[in-house]
Amino acid sequence: MHRGVLVALVFAAATTVTLTAITRKAGAAGVYENAAAEPAFLVSPRQVALRGDFEYSLGESSDAWIYRLSGVFPLRSAFMLAIEQPFLAVNNEDGLDTGIGDFWLRGSARLWRGSGRSFSLVGFMNTGSGTRRHFPYASQTLDVSASLGYVDSLGAATVFATVGNTWVNREKEGETDDARHTDNLRASAGTIVSPLDGASVRLGALFEDYRSGARRWILFAGGTIAATETLHVGADFQTEVGPEAQRVSDFALSLSATVRF
């Protein structure tokens, strides 16, 4: 437990210092990233769940309202599947533009578990099926990612980490600017602390290293509380803190409701 508390304090301090120092200018180096989604899927309870997210994101030249509907489904004891469909309302210099975002698939396969620790293969596919390219919120590219995930439960705290690669595929080269969305290495780490029954606080960071040379750092934080035995409500915040010219968004804030069966 002491290890978990120490990790939580370090992440809290780092997040506070960084948020104090950030600026609000962004430069669109890649597609929009929901940084907490992959770690949340990695540590999610192995039970059927339906979730709705309402998110606001602010960037340099546009802002967007994003509504996501998603579901998580366990397959036997070692496998999990998740689906996600976003809906977009993007406000930029051309006015308000609405549409259906790219459909997502996520999957995980547990490789080993013991003494509160586990290793899993986790991956996602962004199908690029949106009605049009609402860059950077819908890329209309087929992206496939695979990572190794690690989870360690330390009493009231859980630490997690992922490392892997994402491959970006286009029907025609040049449909999306190569400098903004290319193959990339990705790694994330963080902690989840449960100070009270039915409540949890999470902190983490995601790093992406693009083949084009761009690098992005995204910090995320959030909390969840059980309103009832089946209904859980939460809030999440994320911000990009890397070089200004390589950011996609300044910050995003979301509210969520999850029903677990």
Output the furthest CA–CA distance in the chain (Å, rounded): 55
* Residue 222 contacts residue 204 (beta carbons within 8 Å): no
For residue 251, give both structure tokens: 């910050």
* Predicted structure pTM score: 0.83
Distance separating alpha carbons of residues 226 and 260, to the nearest angstrom: 10
CA angle 258, 11, 157 (to 5 degrees): 55
Instruction: Say what the pLDDT of residue 183 is.
Output: 93
Q: Would you give the distance in Å from CA 91 to the centre of its chain?
A: 22
Instruction: Say what the pLDDT of residue 179 is.
Output: 55
Strands 104-114 and 63-75: unpaired
pLDDT tens-place values along the chain, 261 residues long: 444 444 444 444 444 333 333 333 444 567 889 999 999 999 998 899 999 999 999 987 778 999 999 999 999 889 999 999 999 998 877 788 888 999 999 999 999 998 889 999 999 999 988 777 777 888 878 999 999 999 999 888 999 999 999 999 876 555 555 556 889 999 999 999 998 888 999 999 999 999 988 899 999 999 999 999 999 999 999 999 988 888 888 999 999 999 999
The superfamily (CATH) of domain 2-260 is: monomeric porin ompg (2.40.160.40)
* Residue 239 contacts residue 219 (beta carbons within 8 Å): yes
Distance separating alpha carbons of residues 134 and 78, to the nearest angstrom: 36
Instruction: Say what the pLDDT of residue 129 is.
Output: 85
Instruction: Say what the pLDDT of residue 97 is.
Output: 83
CA angle 85, 81, 208 (to 5 degrees): 70
Distance separating alpha carbons of residues 204 and 68, to the nearest angstrom: 21
